[in-house]
Chains A and B, each alone.
Chain A
Amino acid sequence: MNEITRRDADAPRPAGEERRQDTLLPAVDIHEENDAVHIIADMPGVTRDSLVIEVDNGVLSLEGEVAIPMPEGLSPLYAEVRAQRYARRFTLSHEIDSEAISARIDSGVVHLTLPRRDTHRRRRIEVQAA
């Protein structure tokens, strides 16, 4: 699965984004291993369909909507989660290969793998005949 989409800087934003909503900042772990940076983000209630990951101009944005089915007429008694949208952005350094980013989501945990560009790629140099 791969929800990464590229977007032109001046592309029109979807209509839903016009409405400013409160957003939650998902907790993340970030580490580097095996020539890739890994981001693990807690986004409970977000499904594969409600998760949007984009790279735009060197900025990685991670957004997701809490998509839990709830009955009509549910009124809050007590709430610690007070928004239904998560959003977080990270700037990418140039050695990240943004074309090769992959993501998966399982039980509300998003795992992103951001491979580094292969700068040590072995290249064969053709020797021209004299």
Chain B
Amino acid sequence: MFGDLRGLDPARAQGMEWVRQLFDEMFPGGGAADIRSVPSGSFPPINVGRTDDTVRVYVFAPGLGAEDLEVSLQDNVLTVAGRREAPAGDEARTRFRQERFHGDFRRAVALPEGLDIDRAEARFRDGVCEIVLPKRDELKPRRIEVQAA
């Protein structure tokens, strides 16, 4: 799925993503931003995809496990919250780079209407939490029989 995402971004030249991001950050405005959109690089990154009968949310939270992530859904807004601890270690050590996020986080994404929350499932593997939200029956694609005239 992640390989096909270029389609979401029609104006983008290959390998020039960082330039686009730089300009987006330097010159905000222009188009209207989603009210819940966040600057790129927010932790944890979230992808949302859909199949015929489910909506799937992928939360990229490396180093966390099922017990560290709190997932809730209210009025089609999915909230993920948790905390990633700073790596333990001697304070006196020499640090060269510290790019990884640590601390508390809380993020929300709006999902399409008509999901069956009671049948939602979430599982964690390799630092990615996959949340599967089945669509209610009335939203699934249906075949319409064409009657002979």
B6 contacts across to A, CB distance below 8 A: 22, 82
Q: Is the CB of B99 within 8 A of A84?
A: no
A14 contacts chain B at the CB level, 8 A cutoff: no
**Nearest CB of B to A71, in Å:** 5
Main SS of chain A's interface residues? loop
CB of A40 within 8 A of CB of B87, answer: yes
Shortest beta-carbon distance, B84 to chain A, in Å?
A: 10
Check if A2 is an interface residue, CB within 8 A of chain B. Answer: no
Interface size, chain A (Cβ < 8 Å): 40
Residue of A nearest to B62 (CB): A108
Q: Which residues of A lie under 8 Å from residue B27 when comparing CB positions?
A: none
- Is there an interface contact between B3 and A68, defined as CB atoms closer than 8 Å? no
Once the chains are docked, how many angstroms separate the CA of A108 from the CA of B125?
A: 8
Bound-complex Cα distance A31 to B86 (A): 13
Query: Which of the residues B45, B61, B97, B112 comes within 8 Å of A28, measured between beta carbons?
Result: B97
Give Cα A113 to B58, complex, Å: 30
- Mask for A76-99, Cβ within 8 A of B = 1, else 0? 111111111000000000000000
Contact between chains at B5 and A82 (CB < 8 Å): yes
Contact assessment for B95 and A80 in the assembled complex, using a CB-CB cutoff below 8 Å: no
Q: Are A80 and B51 in contact (CB under 8 A)?
A: no
Quick one: given A40-B87, A45-B60, A68-B58, are A77 and B126 in contact (CB under 8 Å)? no
Task: Write out the residue numbers on chain A whose beta carbons fall within 8 Å of the beta carbon of B135.
Answer: none
Report how far A42 CA is from B65 CA in the complex, Å: 14
B126 touches A108 (CB 8 A): yes
Given contacts A68-B130, A82-B5, A107-B126, contact A76 B47 (CB under 8 A): yes
Chain B contact residues, CB within 8 Å of chain A: 1-9, 14-15, 17, 40, 42, 44-52, 54-56, 58, 60-65, 87, 89-90, 93-101, 109, 112, 124-128, 130
A residues apposed to B, CB below 8 Å: 20-22, 27-33, 37, 40, 42-47, 66-68, 70-84, 106-109
Q: Please name 22 pairs of A and B residues whose Cβ atoms are closer than 8 Å in the assembled complex, sorted by A.
A: A27-B100, A31-B89, A31-B96, A33-B90, A44-B44, A45-B127, A45-B128, A66-B2, A68-B58, A68-B128, A70-B49, A78-B47, A79-B2, A79-B5, A80-B40, A80-B46, A81-B45, A82-B2, A82-B6, A107-B62, A107-B124, A108-B63
